[in-house]
Amino acid sequence: MELNKRQEQILQIVKEQGPITGENIAEQLNLTRATLRPDLAILTMAGYLDARPRVGYFYTGKSGAQLLTDNLTKIYVKDYQSIPVVVNDSISVYDAICTMFLEDVGTLFVVDQQSLLVGVLSRKDLLRASIGKQELTNIPVNIIMTRMPNIAMCEKEDLMIDVAKKLIEKQIDALPVVKKTEKGYEVIGRITKTNITKAFVALATEDL
């Protein structure tokens, strides 16, 4: 977050004189309390300042990097997950390719007859299967998919930063968001690189 000149002045005053009331800060800057209120709100919500009733404003001592880290630990998968595109493990590679293009996604999640996760299909998997003279309508996806237990996944309460690390580590484009059941894992969402980007852009441009 980039501070404007007045916010930097407020921060300096609180650093040197805190705890200090909003009225006292306004007096030193020759401004009204109402004029100063939005800046104080921004600095407080961003984590640079802390405020206590009848006492005043304190400087938290946190750097921009520390504040960013704090905010990253508040973004969860459940806040940004999107609807998963799921296919049955018995469909053909041809049908999977059609589904991928029609849904405009890069990853399909494969489930069994009980709607439990059994595999993942990426663009690379389908492209690899398309090379050669094979009849794609006769090849079931369960032959080419990545199978359990080699599937990276996440849950809705996981932190987005941890999911981002997992995507980088595994060099994949998406993770299924799962709910654990007695028989296996139910797919309830997906997190993609696009979801990660949206979350971090929202954090960087948040109107505090």
CATH number of the 5-69 domain:
1.10.10.10
**In the Cβ-directed half-sphere of 5, how many Cα atoms lie within 13 Å?**
1
pLDDT of residue 208: 35
pTM of structure: 0.67
3-state helix, strand, coil in the chain (%, to 5): 45, 25, 30
Task: Name the CATH superfamily housing domain 77-201.
Answer: CBS-domain (3.10.580.10)
Note the pLDDT tens digit of each residue in 101-118: 999 999 999 999 999 999
Confidence of residue 203 (pLDDT cuts 50, 70, 90): low
Mean of per-residue pLDDT scores for the chain: 87
Percentage of the chain beyond pLDDT 90 is: 52
What residues does CATH 1.10.10.10 cover in the chain? 5-69
Non-local (6+) Cβ contacts of 170 within 8 A are 152
* Structure-token match 């921009």, residue found: 64
pLDDT number for residue 207? 39
pLDDT digits (tens, 9 = 90+) for 155-169: 999 999 899 999 999
First to last CA, the chain: 10
